[in-house]
């Protein structure tokens, strides 16, 4: 508990109480540290659990640059790889490369969230900053007042954290979103009737990240390292991991990719397998009194486009800068504008992710009109440079507001 101000037994005073130690919470703590602001991070799971979660792995140029500014460049370059764009393949059609580099001059950066999470934990531990693991009963108190505090149970004892602000980085089902009165915040939501089944396999990946549309559904070939690949297939909502043996997964995946691609895919036993439903959620505004939402607590994007981690990074960059302006200069303009600024990128990412999802997936009850629309957009993409450039710009993500 180094660097934590203990007022009296089990009462801690800090500037920002951060709930959730995923990438949003841990990067926010790092950003605050870099501005000389102290925080206490509370996480209900163990560090091992958080670091073993497998999520997406593509960073936008601007978010990877931000991580470099915050000192993670050397770690990122050990494992990550710049990518010019992403391939789309479609059985009976020409391939299309979303050429981010050609149209925007930027590059994407392939870097698994798991590696970033590890780097964030290492930096946190090295700094001696507090991280309260395996907490339970986290409760937010007086958040609409100027003296909010958080209570929780840690190592069998009740603790109280007095703070100036609370950062809700505890995901879509966390206590922070539940602490906001339902008549105060609007929730925009969309569910899809399908999920992604993903596996990790110790085999060299394809050269490019490759999205595939097939009449029976979507597939994706992704990558983590030169010897570690991640693959996904669209499966009906409600399917469970237990329904899918490795053999069944590979049969479906290889059948979806055109032969020219599938013959290059190296199959093998999965070392991880998980299912994620596709949905979109946006909460507005992202602030209630002294509580600010960031990362998955603020929004969920469908994974198509890999925007979730990018948004978590940009949210906490805006929020960290806003807190810094408040503590260093007494300015409230950053915290007052946080919600509006962050939501611009959030809706841009929702727009891109929804478009890519509709282009690449097939709904079980899809009507012929929707199929024609998909075909029309893909034909446009293959033939029209303006459409190619527009998609590449959206895929690269909007610039960060300085």
Question: Which residues of the chain form contacts with ligand PHB (CB under 6 A)?
Answer: 56-58, 209, 222, 230, 303-306
Q: How far apart are CA 194 and CA 218, in angstroms?
A: 10
Q: How far is the CB of 83 from ligand PHB (least distance, A)?
A: 10
Rg (CA), the chain: 22
- Give the range of 15-23, 61-69, 228-236, 371-379 binding ligand APR by CB under 6 A: 15-23
State the nearest-atom distance from the C-beta of 378 to ligand APR, in Å. 26
Our finding on whether 23 is near ligand APR (CB under 6 A) is yes
Does 235 bind ligand APR (CB under 6 A)? Our answer is no
Residue 174 interface partner, choices ligand PHB, ligand APR, none, CB cut-off 5-8 Å depending on type: ligand APR
Nearer to ligand APR, 191 or 266 (CB): 191
Tell how strand 11-13 and strand 157-162 pair up.
parallel
Pick the closer one to ligand APR by CB: 111 or 378: 111
* SS3 per-residue string spanning 226-293: CCEEEEEEEEECCCCHHHCCHHHHHHHHHHHCCHHHHCCCCCCCEEEEEEEEEEEEEEECCEECCEEE
Identify whether 24 is preceded by a cis peptide bond (ω within 30 of 0).
Answer: no
Binding characters for ligand APR, 279-298, by CB under 6 A (x = yes): ----------------xx--
- Provide the minimum distance between the beta carbon of 116 and ligand APR in the complex, in angstroms, as a whole number: 9
- CB of 50 or CB of 342, closer to ligand APR: 50
Instruction: Write the interaction track for ligand APR spanning residues 108-147; mark x where CB under 6 A is met and - where it is not.
Output: -----x---------------------x--x---------
Which of ligand PHB, ligand APR, none has residue 171 at its interface (CB below 5 to 8 Å by kind)?
Answer: ligand APR
Nearest of 390, 294, 297 to residue 348 by alpha carbon:
390
Cβ atoms 345, 391 nearer than 8 A = no
User: Of these, 43, 60, 62, 394, which contacts ligand APR (CB under 6 A)?
Assistant: 43
227 within 8 A of 201, measured Cβ to Cβ: no
Q: How far is the CB of 333 from ligand APR (least distance, A)?
A: 25
Residue 98 gets which letter from DSSP?
E
Minimum separation from the CB atom of position 41 to ligand APR (A): 9
The entry of ligand PHB, ligand APR, none that residue 58 binds, CB within 5 to 8 Å by partner kind: ligand PHB
44 binds ligand APR (CB under 6 A): yes
Piece of 94-102, 279-287, 306-314, 339-347 that binds ligand APR (CB under 6 A): 306-314
| One residue of 309, 335, 343, 349 binding ligand APR per CB under 6 A | 309
Whole-number Å distance between alpha carbons of 255 and 365: 21
**Sheet arrangement for strand 165-168:** 131-132, 39-42, 16-19, 165-168, 291-293, 287-288
In DSSP terms, which residues pair with 87 in a beta bridge?
A: 97, 210
CB of 338 within 8 A of CB of 294? Answer: no
Helix, strand or coil for residue 370?
A: helix
Q: Using DSSP bridges, classify how beta strands 81-83 and 157-162 pair: parallel, antiparallel or unpaired.
A: unpaired
What's the farthest any 2 CA atoms get from each other in the chain?
A: 70
Return the residue nearest ligand PHB (CB atom). 222
> Dihedral through CA 67, CA 320, CA 177, CA 304, nearest 10?
-30
Does residue 174 touch ligand APR according to CB under 6 A? Answer: yes
- The answer to whether residue 31 forms part of the interface with ligand APR (CB under 6 A) is no
Three-state DSSP state, 93: coil
Nearer to ligand PHB, 13 or 81 (CB): 81
Tokens representing residue 120 in the block: 């964030």
Q: Which stretch binds ligand APR (CB under 6 A): 13-21, 76-84, 346-354, 370-378?
A: 13-21
Positions in the binding site for ligand APR (CB under 6 A): 19-25, 42-45, 50, 55-56, 113, 135, 138, 169-171, 174-175, 295-296, 308-309, 312
């Amino acid at each position: 508990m180094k660097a934590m101000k203990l007022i009296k037994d089990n009462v801690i005073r800090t500037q920002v109480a951060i709930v959730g130690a995923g990438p949003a919470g841990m990067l926010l703590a790092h950003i605050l540290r870099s501005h000389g602001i102290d925080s206490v991070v509370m996480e209900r799971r163990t560090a091992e659990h958080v670091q073993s979660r497998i999520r997406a792995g593509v960073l936008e140029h601007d978010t990877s640059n931000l991580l470099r500014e915050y000192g993670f460049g050397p770690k990122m370059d050990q494992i990550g790889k710049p990518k010019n764009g992403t391939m789309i393949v479609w059985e009976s059609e020409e391939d299309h490369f979303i050429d981010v580099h050609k149209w925007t001059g930027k590059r994407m950066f392939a870097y698994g969230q798991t590696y970033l999470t590890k780097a964030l934990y290492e930096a946190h531990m090295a700094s001696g900053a507090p991280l309260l693991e395996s907490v339970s009963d986290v409760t937010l108190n007086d958040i609409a007042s100027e003296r909010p505090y958080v209570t929780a149970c840690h190592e069998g004892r009740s603790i109280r954290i007095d703070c100036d602000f609370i950062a809700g980085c505890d995901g879509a089902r966390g206590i922070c979103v539940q602490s906001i009165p339902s008549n105060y915040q609007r929730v925009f939501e969309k569910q899809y009737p399908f999920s992604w089944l993903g596996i990790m396999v110790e085999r060299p990946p394809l050269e490019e990240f490759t999205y595939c549309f097939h009449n029976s559904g979507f597939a994706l070939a992704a990558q983590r390292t030169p010897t570690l690949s991640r693959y996904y297939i669209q499966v009906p909502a409600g399917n469970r991991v237990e329904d899918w043996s490795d053999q069944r997964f590979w049969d479906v995946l290889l059948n979806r990719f055109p032969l020219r691609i599938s013959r290059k895919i190296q199959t093998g036993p999965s070392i991880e397998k998980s299912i994620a439903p596709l949905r979109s959620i946006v909460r507005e505004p992202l602030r209630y009194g002294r509580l600010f939402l960031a990362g998955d607590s603020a929004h969920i994007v469908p994974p198509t486009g890999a925007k979730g981690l990018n948004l978590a990074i940009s949210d906490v960059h805006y929020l960290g800068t806003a807190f810094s302006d408040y503590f260093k200069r007494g300015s409230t303009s950053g915290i007052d504008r946080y919600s509006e600024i962050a939501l611009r990128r959030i809706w841009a990412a929702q727009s891109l992710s929804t478009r890519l999802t509709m282009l690449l997936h097939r709904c079980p009850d899809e009507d012929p009109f929707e199929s024609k629309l998909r075909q029309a957009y893909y034909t446009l993409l293959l033939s029209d440079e303006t459409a190619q450039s527009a998609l590449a710009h959206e895929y690269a993500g909007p610039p960060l507001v300085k």
